[in-house]
């Protein structure tokens, strides 16, 4: 009777699954831990970049003390605005209606010298880095990005999301500026491919520009790009294990049916 009862327990599928589950978990334990580690490590920079922007919401508007609609800009800025007018007329309309100062400054005068351009958080004035952004197409590219920040700071309905939830589940301000700029660079490919590649990769035309575009998309195409990056990173140890096992089987040859 004991033998029959034990035999019936072994045939019970629920009992078999309950025994196999811990074994399966322990067999994949290191891969699960590595996946969690990679996700947490990569999630840190995204949280660091996203949370402050979501909390800020540009509640304090720009002071606009030095803004003057339909102001006169230097010739190089005018040339850049002419390029913008052809590819992004809405951005040029924003420049003329707001009239914020746009200054070309030395790298040492930039708050962040590595930036191509920057928008002052309190005033909304735009600084162009003279050492890197020194041609009209490059200035147009940088202005397009910075004008997105200006429009967020003025709660322009054309770019500002309707609610904080939209910014959390959609794109935060920096991600939105990068994605819009990437779209502008793509439009610039027809007229000035060198500047388009420079904007996409941060450097001159080279064979590495697809990598720069991919990095930009994975970093700022929030939330889809971020989710795909985290998912792929979590799957890396599983894919590597699968590939390694297949390679081991191929080298060792077919497994004999009988010992």
pLDDT at 242 (0 to 100) = 74
**Domain spans, the chain:** 75-226
**How does DSSP classify residue 194?**
H
Q: Which residues pair with 101 in a beta bridge?
A: none
Averaged pLDDT of the chain: 77
pLDDT for residue 166 is more than 70: no
pLDDT at 50 (0 to 100) = 60
pLDDT at 119 (0 to 100) = 92
pLDDT for residue 44 is more than 90: no
Per residue in 171-200, pLDDT tens? 677 778 888 888 898 888 888 888 888 887
pLDDT at 104 (0 to 100) = 96
pLDDT for residue 145 is more than 90: yes
pLDDT at 225 (0 to 100) = 62
**For residues 208-234, average pLDDT:** 70
State residue 254 phi and psi, 5-degree precision: -65, 145
Looking at the chain, the whole-number percentage of residues with pLDDT higher than 70 is 63
* Helix, coil or strand: residue 148: helix
pLDDT at 174 (0 to 100) = 79
Q: Which of 23-27, 36-40, 117-121, 246-250 has the highest mean pLDDT?
A: 117-121
**For residues 30-41, average pLDDT:** 77
pLDDT for residue 157 is more than 60: yes
Q: How far is CA 112 from CA 37, 58, 107, 115, 177, in A?
A: 32, 20, 8, 6, 17
pLDDT at 155 (0 to 100) = 79
Per residue in 11-23, pLDDT tens? 555 555 555 555 6
Q: Which residues pair with 127 in a beta bridge?
A: 103, 118
Q: Which pTM was predicted? A: 0.66
Nearest to 35 by CA among 233, 245, 240, 242: 233
pLDDT at 147 (0 to 100) = 93
The CA-CA-CA angle for residues 100, 118, 168, to 5°, reads: 100
Q: Which residues contact 219 (CB under 8 A, 6 or more apart)?
A: 178, 225, 226
Per residue in 84-141, pLDDT tens? 999 999 999 999 999 999 999 999 999 988 889 999 988 999 999 999 999 999 999 9
Least confident of 5-9, 108-112, 199-203: 5-9
């Amino acid at each position: 009777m004991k033998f029959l009862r034990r035999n019936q327990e072994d045939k019970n599928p629920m009992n078999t699954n309950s025994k196999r589950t811990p074994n399966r978990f322990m067999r994949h334990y290191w891969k699960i831990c590595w996946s969690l580690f990679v996700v947490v490590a990569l999630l840190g920079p995204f949280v660091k970049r996203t949370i402050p922007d979501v909390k800020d919401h540009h509640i304090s508007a720009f002071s606009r003390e030095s803004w003057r609609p339909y102001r006169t800009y230097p010739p190089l800025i005018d040339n850049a605005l002419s390029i913008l007018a052809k590819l992004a007329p809405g951005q040029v309309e924003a420049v003329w209606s707001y009239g914020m100062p746009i200054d070309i400054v030395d790298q040492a005068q930039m708050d962040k010298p590595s930036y191509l351009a920057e928008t002052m958080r309190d005033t909304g004035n735009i600084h162009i880095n003279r050492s890197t952004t020194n041609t009209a197409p490059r200035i147009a590219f940088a202005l397009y990005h910075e004008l997105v920040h200006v429009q967020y700071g003025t709660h322009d309905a054309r770019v500002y999301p309707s609610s904080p939830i939209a910014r959390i589940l959609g794109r935060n301000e920096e991600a939105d500026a990068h994605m819009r700029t990437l779209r502008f660079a793509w439009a610039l490919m027809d007229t000035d491919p060198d500047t388009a590649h420079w904007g996409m990769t941060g450097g001159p035309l080279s064979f590495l520009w697809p990598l720069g575009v991919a990095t930009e998309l994975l970093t700022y195409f929030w939330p889809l790009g971020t989710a795909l990056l985290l998912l792929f990173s979590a799957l890396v140890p599983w894919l590597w294990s699968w590939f390694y096992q297949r390679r081991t089987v191929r080298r060792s040859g077919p497994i004999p049916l009988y010992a």
